[in-house]
Amino acid sequence: MSKTVIIDPVTRIEGHAKISVYLDDAGEVENARFHVVEFRGFEKFCEGRPMFEMAGITARICGICPVSHLLASAKTGDKILAVQVPPAGEKLRRMMNLAQLTQSHALSFFHLSSPDFLLGWDSDPAKRNVFGLMAADPDLARAGIRLRQFGQTVIEILGAKKIHAAWAVPGGVRSPLSEDGRNWIIERLPEARQTTELAISLFKRLLDSELAQEVDVFGKFPSLFMGLVAPDGTWEHYGGHLRFIDSNGEIVADGLSEDDYQDFLGEAVENWSYLKFPYYKPLGYPDGIYRVGPLARLNVCDCIGTEDADRELIEFRHRAGGRVATSSFFYHYARLVEIMACIEAIEQLIDDPDVVSKRVRSEAGINCLEGVGVSEAPRGTLFHHYQVDENGLIKKVNLIIATGQNNLAMNKTVTQIAQHYIHGNEIPEGMLNRVEAGIRAYDPCLSCSTHAVGQMPLHIQLIQKDGTIIQEKYRN
């Protein structure tokens, strides 16, 4: 008789979801599903608001990655105003996004995922968290907190607030970087670099010792990857164009514009999740599965363009066994390489005279009735698409969120992990934690993806083929 395991809610991610694991008559995993069970409908209640308010409004979708929405919305506004952002405005936007990537990746690695690596998959769940890490390795925990604090403080220096800073606006930014702020960033950069180097070394040691199995079964499968690249193929997080690459390293599509996203991205729906299932249209659904985020960005780029990050990228690809890393477990590794890239990029920007220029914003009225903006959020490529009337009031909004674009991959990942670890009706807590950890590798932000509010608990159910629940676990 078949059975189903349900994990509800999933822990140490942002939002509310559950995982169902379906067993066949022999007690083997037949399928697994990652259900997103929250909904708020942010796109709908933006209708009727002035376009100039959208950056500040959409930043409030999430408290973890508000900068991502702030920048994508501001870039959409640039299109509607038909303006060119002053060099200082663009470089300061870039600096804020680099700080956002740094703080979010630090949160994901040190606070949400490292307890699994350092305390053990089967350790007591009451202690398998950042507080347990602080007790076991206070220096490492403190370093991780300080690294995240660095990114958040750079955001605060630029936008006056660490969270929901309504600073980037259509046409540029509201205020320049102060000399005091510039000096603070310069002073803190060496410590941020040192912590990043420490984390990369630590994770590579773990890969060499005890994480080999996780690399092989935590979402290792062929797919497409999508991300922004610069015109010369260099790693990009703010501008450039979109590129798709396959698991063999072959470019599938290049030079794509966000304006044409509806030509190459489709959005499917399933009746068991509020989260949509984006796919690459030319391959159809579900064959057009693709991944976004730090793993995808390192896969699609030719190089990063900074010395230390490029050296780490070479080793990253060597450890992955080729040009493209196909294991979703390498998302953790990719985040650390990206933090190094961000630190180096901030080091370069902070010495640029433009970043203290007072010319940070172009002024204009409504010149276009539609615009699409794109930016790389920590979790992947983020699209904002607005249609406005002649007065600039929003008529329609579509947001394509990074977490949603990884939805097909996340479902494939939990199925692969469950099939490897779950055998029979009784499932130890550590096995369920591994299934959860497959989702944590993507660092999903479900408040963004469903535009809802809340934190992420976990619910797992083990279900027979006739629908009978034979095992159920909850975590709050």
- Going through 281-364 in order, the beta strands assigned E by DSSP cover 290-291
Distance CA 229, CA 252 (A): 14
Phi, psi of 33 (to 5 degrees): -130, 140
46 marked among binding-site residues: no
* Contact by Cβ (8 Å): 418, 308: no
What does DSSP say about strands 17-23 and 458-464: parallel, antiparallel, or unpaired? Answer: parallel
Can you read off the two tokens belonging to residue 163? Answer: 């969270």
SS3 content of the chain, % helix, strand, coil (to 5): 45, 20, 30
Structure tokens at 370: 């539609």
Name the DSSP class of 364.
-
Helix (H) or strand (E) holding 388: strand 380-388
Residue 361 and residue 89 in contact, taking contact as beta carbons nearer than 8 Å: yes
Q: What are phi and psi of 455, to 5 degrees?
A: -110, 170
Asked whether residue 43 is marked as a ligand-binding residue, the answer is yes
Q: Is 368 annotated as a binding residue?
A: no
Peptide bond connecting 9 to the previous residue in cis, omega within 30 degrees of 0: yes
Among the listed residues 112, 109, 141, 139, the one whose alpha carbon sits nearest the alpha carbon of residue 128: 112
Dist. CA 420–CA 440, nearest whole Å: 17
Contact call for residues 101 and 339 (beta carbons, < 8 A): yes
What are the tokens at 473?
Answer: 């676990």
Cα 452 from Cα 267, distance rounded (Å): 19
What DSSP element (H or E) covers 461?
strand 458-464
121 contact partners, CB below 8 Å, separation of at least 6: 430, 433, 434, 437
Say whether 399 counts as a known binding-site residue. yes
* Relative orientation angle of helices 307-320 and 330-350, to the nearest 10 degrees: 170
**Residue 194 token pair:** 């040192």
Which has the closest alpha carbon to 400: 328, 331, 444, 448? 448
Could you tell me which residues are annotated as the binding site for Ni(2+)?
65, 445
Could you tell me which residues are annotated as the binding site?
43, 62, 65, 399, 445, 448, 451
Could you tell me which residues are annotated as the binding site for Mg(2+)?
43, 62, 399, 451
Could you tell me which residues are annotated as the binding site for Fe cation?
65, 448
